Amino acid sequence: MSDRILVLYGSYRRDRMGIRLARWLTKQLNERGCDAELIDAQAVGLPMLDRMYKEYVEGEAPEAMEALARKIVAADGFLFVTGEYNWGMQPGLKNLTDHFLEEWFWRPAAIASYSAGRLAGARSNSMWHPTLSEMGMVVTSSTLTVGQIGKALNADDRPQGEGGAALERAFPRFADDLLWWVEAAKAQRARRDPPY
């Protein structure tokens, strides 16, 4: 059975470039034999956080939230594709993530960041590590950072230029790290129920 990986992306901007990276990463994981699915926060359309999924009476959560909760619980691992806004996290992705808590537990997460500038979303990348860890995920040590995102991937989601070449070189190790942790977590969950 192939590994079920959710690729989570959160920009709501009209001319968003990071979607190229999210689609490329999803495609690469599928080509490695995973069952990867892109979760686009804009398409899911959750409201600003008012009630977490667990705060609804069973069967009364909004349909989009219920559907996403089932996908999160069924996933073996997560890949967060994070843009950087003013040295911070993208609000769309953070809002989507915060609707859930226990649903994320005991699975690994990896982080790929991007920005229009040279720092490649590194500041946002580093902010997501403790956040995801606090939400019960094991965050892999390997990360991807893609600077000048509009030049690194073209409109057809193909890597190009120096930035695209760097992305293609870095991806195999990044994916190997995530999938090693996916395998380890799956084996542990099969061997023993989570502690709580």
Residues in CB range of 159: below 8 A, 6 or more apart: 24, 152, 153, 165, 167, 168
Residues in CB range of 14: below 8 A, 6 or more apart: none
Q: How far is CA 101 from CA 21, 127, 131, 164, in A?
A: 26, 18, 11, 34
pLDDT digits (tens, 9 = 90+) for 62-105: 999 999 999 999 999 999 999 988 888 999 999 999 999 999 99
Structural domain boundaries of the chain? 4-191
DSSP-derived letter for residue 80 is E
pLDDT digits (tens, 9 = 90+) for 120-144: 888 999 999 999 999 999 999 999 9
pLDDT score of 70? 98
- End-to-end CA separation in angstroms for the chain: 26
What token pair was written down for 7? Answer: 């690729």
pLDDT score of 193? 87
What token pair was written down for 169? Answer: 């070189």
pLDDT digits (tens, 9 = 90+) for 3-54: 999 999 999 999 999 999 999 999 999 999 999 999 999 999 999 999 999 9
The CATH superfamily assigned to 4-191 is Flavodoxin domain (3.40.50.360)
pLDDT score of 131? 96
Q: CA angle, 21 as apex, 18 and 26 as ends, to 5°?
A: 130
pLDDT score of 86? 86
CA distance 90 to 106: 24
